[in-house]
Amino acid sequence: MSSSTATARTDWLNSIGNRLGIPRSNRFRGRWKLISRRNFAVNRTVATGTSIMTPPVVAESSLGLQQLPFKSEGYNYWKWRGYRIHYVVEGEGFPIVLIHGFASSSFHWRYNIPELAKRYKVYALDLLGFGWSEKPLIDYDALIWRDQVVDFLNEIVKQPAVLVGNSLGGFTTLLAAAALPDQVRGVSLLNGAGRFGDDISTTDKTEETALHKFIVKPVEEIFQRVVVRSAFWLTMQPDQIEAVLKSGVYRNHSNVDDYLINSILRPAADPNAYEVYYRLLKQLMSNPTKYTLDSVLSQLSCPLLLLWGDLDPWVHDRAKPNRIKDFYPNTPLVNLQAGHYPQDEVPEQVNKALLDWLSTFASEI
């Protein structure tokens, strides 16, 4: 391998590693050791030498908080456009719909569902390609997930609701709320994805040459697959998942437990898991410019709440929540000492903030 090729490979791997939060010291290991975990029973195999393990059903975590019991088979399923979609539903009352982030699932709301369900009917949906939902080989983009949430509201929830989304799920909730202004009564973003239009460079919009289209681009595609495959298997090892989560994604390491790690490992056993992971990550790396925060917020008409983990290593624009507030006036912002997943890292604070916010417009819901 030439020095330029090696440098390019290192740059690609570092780029992906930065996106995933993988510590630099863990990115170039040829082998990744699988660590054993106590009190688990082997359930199914992801790949040679890697097992999915199911923890015992528990009502409370080691933190003393009630959590959603883990079920390796999932909870409820809904047929959408011919695909099997997983969701959780608990409680009674006005509906709250929780949407997870990238490479996550409904189980990432494990601490929020039981508490919110004491007052509301809580749904947690697995987006197509993620979690316990089917993983078809299609071209994924923001509108696929928007349509899924819209149809879920129409076909399953069947009444007005409040949407709560983390990361990618946050941007999805904004798109769904803009599409269904009469049905979505409020949106809460937890470290929501998306960028403002003026943050996006237009320098890539040059015409593609024949050389690039037929020679350079296919080679890049093959090269990217090699690198992404390495990243996929790296992040599908329990010890590597733990290292990634503790490297800054979670500031509170006590919540990085067997339950959380297994909820990430289990979907990797699904057919097409790697190919879907590749397509999703490729889209993420390509920085699509079609849908921007300002264009979506300009179509929003419901109350908005921002719950923001200020220690997020994946969102580098520290001014982002304040920019959203400036663009969409009268938006409360709750700053949290947490990383990218505040709902799982500081669940008590998130639950309180959500319940307090919901109570301010209780007459409207």
Alpha-carbon distance 251 to 246, whole Å? 7
pLDDT of residue 263: 94
User: In Å, what is the CA distance from 52 to each residue of 42, 237, 264, 273?
Assistant: 6, 10, 10, 14
Would you say 244 and 22 are in contact if contact means Cβ atoms under 8 Å apart?
Answer: yes
Q: Which fold has domain 3-201+225-364?
A: Rossmann fold (3.40.50)
Q: Can you tell me the distance from the alpha carbon of 302 to that of 120, in angstroms, rounded to the nearest whole number?
A: 19
Contact 37, 238 (CB under 8 A): yes
Contact criterion met (CB below 8 Å) for 111 and 347: yes
* 305 burial type by CB count under 10 A (0-12 exposed, 13-18 middle, 19+ buried): buried
List CB contacts of 58: < 8 A, sequence separation 6 or more: 67, 69, 70, 259
What is the tens place of the pLDDT at every residue in 51-92? 333 333 445 666 688 999 999 999 999 999 999 999 999 999
Cβ(184)–Cβ(302) under 8 Å?
Answer: yes
Taking residues 125-137, report their average pLDDT.
Answer: 97
The answer to pTM > 0.85 is: no
Helix (H) or strand (E) holding 52: strand 50-54
pLDDT in tens, 18-54: 444 444 444 434 333 333 333 333 333 333 233 333 3
Q: What pLDDT, on a 0 to 100 scale, did the predictor assign at position 285?
A: 62
